[in-house]
Amino acid sequence: MTGYFFRRLFLMVPLLWGITFVTFGVMQLAPGKPVDVMTDMNVKMSAESKQKLVRLYGLDKPWYVQYGLWLKRFVRLDFGRSFKDDRSVSRKILERLPATLLLNVLSLLLIFVVAIPIGVASAVRQNSFFDKGMTVFVFIGFSIPTVWLALLMMIAFGLKLGWLPISGLRSLNYDELSWFGRMADVARHLVLPVTVSAFTGLAGLSRYMRNGLLEVIRQDYVRTARAKGLPESTVIYRHALRNALIPVVTLLGLYLPELIGGSFIFETIFAYPGMGRLGFEAIMARDYPVVMGVGVIAALLTLLGNFLADVAYGYVDPRIRHSK
Amino acid sequence: MTRDSLVRIEHLDIDYRQHGVWVPVVRDVSFELREREMVSLVGESGCGKTTLALSILRLLPERESAVRGGRILFDGSDVLRMDPDGLRSLRGGRISMIFQDPFSSLNPVLTVGEQVEEVLECHEGRRDPARVKSLLERVVLPDPSRIYSSFPHQLSGGQRQRVMIAMAIASSPKLLIADEPTTALDVTVQKEILDLLTRLQDELGMSVLLITHNLGLVAERSHRLAVMYSGRLVESGETAAVLASPRHPYTQGLIQSLPRIRRTGSRLPMLPGQPPELSRIPSGCAFHPRCAKVFAPCSREIPPLKKMGSSPDSDEAVACHLFGGPAS
């Protein structure tokens, strides 16, 4: 078991390298160069000073040399400096990372805490009014583009009803608030982004949980449990649910990358001060060092999510736990 | 020897839903099981024997099956009318069951100890690891302490079936239903498991309903034998008597197709054709298209199960037009 986890951890290294390579390559293929964005609109910029900038950033070298140089710095954990404001990339990311983690962890919690009971209730009362209602909800949840849903919710709850703030993470008067007031303020700002980013996952996972449990309920060992005379609640929660949760745990690892990918869009829509928006703006500005930095962190979080799912899988399934 | 009746099934009809259509699985089955006896229920796959067994504990899938008529009396009370509490004390308490596939019948995420202990907790209201270990010892499992904390995947098929038996005898049931308990096991293990069941039946004084498609297995063990074909009982009687002089052509065919050590050289006789599909059961006697002795009434009328033999307390009965004795 321990050997298995170390192997998994070790395999993350080439995977991470591959991700950085592809990210760098795709970035190079995108039209427009960092210097263009800075110089094109600036009439005072001469062609000569533009060349100077290109040389300064090392953009005159072939792409593979640039990548090699980036990699050389990266192994020393140096992400370089932003083209835009010359600030350290690691510092820029560290400023934004907590907000992104907060958003994603809350979404993930919301997905699992809400979807699992919904799925269980639907399965236990298969084809009931509740189950059918949930089927419709899931269908809608999957079909609605989340970007559109975000805008719709901003209009409804932010503008029409005025219940919730529609952007950022803090109000303007944040510094004047008491400790409790600050917490409440952040919580109010989080409601919309967390709900919207959890929405698709919620729909999917509840359906997944429902079908998984229905599948398990048909298994022989559930019939054995019934034949023993156990009460129905024990049959469902002790015998069936524990087995049905095993595949759900692995979804934890699959939802995390989805959420982080979604962060780029949600954070931009909600003007949320997280890593996703930093990444989005960096891509628009062709700010290579920041894009690469954000890419690496996002990849690391994804790999970490997968790794945690593997650990959890081993924990809940004795058949995996005992294999060498 | 006469014994008191333990289970009495009367005119039981059960349907299954197949692709949205209800089809008959069990038809007009009446059947009695007495205290401390072992009865074998024999028939080909799909003849309704497992359905019959599951219905005694009301374990049939709720939405896909329906009991259309009849009664199942256990110790005088009708199982089909029991409330959930009564049913729970029956299941695993006074009647327990072991299943065909020991590989899928134990919960993969719970230890063996937990799964056996559950029965005690449920029916006697206490956890008792020492009792669980003595049960594991009783079903001849080596090193009960180790088995107690093992997960099912760490045991062999035979060991798992022994665990199922330990679970089944935990609350000293009056009836043990064994649904093809050895089909999934190696031949050598099959005999061990059946020996264990026979011994436990004797020691605990329980009745056993042994469901099997293997006539060879039942020959020396069960007191009585009942043969099913296409949802109906076609013949029943004392095992030795039925095996020695089977009356129904289907029973004759089953016995003839048993391989025997002394009979060499000739081809093993076999029943022609296949058992009918449930949605297309032939008219009259369901066996008539495969029967060598078919005659006029066979395709028109369903033969009733008639009592055979001269003495009034004879157990032998057969459902075949060849035997036109008085209806029972």
**B49, B16 Cβ separation under 8 angstroms:** no
* Confidence band of B263 (pLDDT split at 50, 70, 90): low
For B288-305, b where at least 16 C-beta lie within 10 A, e where not — what string?
Answer: bebbeebeeebeeeebeb
The Cα B31–Cα B5 span in angstroms is: 11
**What backbone phi and psi angles, to 5 degrees, belong to B227?**
-110, 130
Instruction: For CA atoms B195, B200, B202, B203, give the dihedral sign.
Output: positive
- For chains A and B, CB pairs below 8 A equal 79
- Which amino acid, residue A235? V
Q: With DSSP H G I counted as helix, E B as strand and the rest as coil, what are the percentages for chain B, rounded to 5?
A: 35, 25, 45
Pick A221's closest partner by Cβ from B89, B96, B106: B106
Cα distances (Å, whole numbers) of residue B85 to A227, B89, B125, B187: 13, 6, 15, 40
The encoded tokens of residue B123 equal 């029916």
User: Is A221's Cβ below 8 Å from some Cβ in B?
Assistant: yes
User: Is A200's Cβ below 8 Å from some Cβ in B?
Assistant: no
Helix axes A275-284, A288-316, angle to 10 degrees: 140
* Confidence band of A63 (pLDDT split at 50, 70, 90): confident
The Cα A59–Cα A68 span in angstroms is: 13
pLDDT exceeds 70 at position B262: no
Does the pTM exceed 0.90?
A: no
A316 vs chain B: nearest CA distance in angstroms? 8
B43 vs chain A: nearest CA distance in angstroms? 22
The encoded tokens of residue A132 equal 């059918």
The encoded tokens of residue B24 equal 């008959």
Sequential DSSP letters for A229-287: T--HHHIIIIIIHHHHHHHHHHHHHHHHHHHHHHHHHHHHHTT--SHHHHHHHHHHTT-
User: Is B124's Cβ below 8 Å from some Cβ in A?
Assistant: no
For residue B64, which residues of chain A lie inside 8 Å, CB to CB?
none
Q: Tens digits of per-residue pLDDT, A108-149?
A: 899 999 999 999 999 998 888 999 999 898 888 888 888 898
Cα distances (Å, whole numbers) of residue B284 to B247, B277, B288: 18, 15, 8
* Confidence band of A259 (pLDDT split at 50, 70, 90): confident
Strands B38-42 and B21-34: unpaired
**For chain A, what's the residue count?**
324
Q: How many CB atoms lie within 10 A of CB B161?
A: 31
The Cα B32–Cα A200 span in angstroms is: 57
Name the B residues in 32-61 with CB < 8 Å from any A CB. 57, 59
User: Is A220's Cβ below 8 Å from some Cβ in B?
Assistant: yes
How far from the centroid of its chain's Cα atoms is residue A154's Cα?
21
What homologous superfamily does CATH list for A89-321? MetI-like (1.10.3720.10)
Selection from B17, B83, B63 nearest residue A128 by Cα: B63
Cα distances (Å, whole numbers) of residue B292 to A3, A13, A198, B320, B327: 66, 74, 69, 13, 24
If phi > 0 it is left, if psi is from -120 to 50 it is alpha, else beta; for residue B301 that is beta
The Cα B60–Cα A235 span in angstroms is: 16
Check B109 against A219: CB less than 8 A apart: no
CA atoms within 13 A on the CB side of B218: 35
Q: Tens digits of per-residue pLDDT, B143-190?
A: 999 999 999 999 999 999 999 999 999 999 999 999 999 888 888 888
**B132, B148 Cβ separation under 8 angstroms:** yes
**B192, B158 Cβ separation under 8 angstroms:** yes
Torsion on CA atoms A296, A300, A303, A307, rounded to nearest 10: 170
pLDDT exceeds 50 at position B1: no
The SS3 assignment for A128 reads coil
The encoded tokens of residue A223 equal 């019939």
Q: Tens digits of per-residue pLDDT, A206-223?
A: 999 999 999 999 999 999
Mutation site for A-interface testing, chosen from B94, B107, B149 by largest number of A Cβ within 10 Å:
B107
For residue A229, which residues of chain B lie inside 8 Å, CB to CB?
87-93, 119, 122-123
Sequential DSSP letters for A184-232: HHHHHHHHHHHHHHHHHHHHHHHHHHHHHHHHHHTSHHHHHHHHTT--H
What kind and span of H or E run contains A170? Answer: none
pLDDT exceeds 90 at position A251: no
The Cα B89–Cα B92 span in angstroms is: 7
Range of lowest pLDDT (A46-50, A98-102, B200-204): A46-50
**pLDDT at site A209:** 93
Helix axes A2-29, A288-316, angle to 10 degrees: 150
Q: Tens digits of per-residue pLDDT, B83-134?
A: 988 999 999 999 999 999 998 999 999 999 999 999 999 998 888 899 999 9
Question: Searching chain B, which residue's CA lies closest to the CA of residue A227?
Answer: B91
The encoded tokens of residue B128 equal 């008792």
pLDDT exceeds 50 at position A272: yes
User: Is A324's Cβ below 8 Å from some Cβ in B?
Assistant: no
The encoded tokens of residue B198 equal 């026979």
The SS3 assignment for B98 reads strand
**B232, B319 Cβ separation under 8 angstroms:** yes
User: Is B237's Cβ below 8 Å from some Cβ in A?
Assistant: no
**pLDDT at site A38:** 65
pLDDT exceeds 90 at position A11: no
The Cα B235–Cα B5 span in angstroms is: 19
Instruction: For CA atoms A220, A235, A121, A111, give the dihedral sign.
Output: negative
Q: In what order do the strands lie in the sheet with B317-318?
A: B95-98, B175-179, B207-212, B38-42, B224-229, B232-238, B317-318, B306-307
The encoded tokens of residue B172 equal 């000293």
**pLDDT at site A48:** 78
User: Is B62's Cβ below 8 Å from some Cβ in A?
Assistant: no
Q: Tens digits of per-residue pLDDT, A289-300?
A: 898 999 898 888
**pLDDT at site A41:** 63
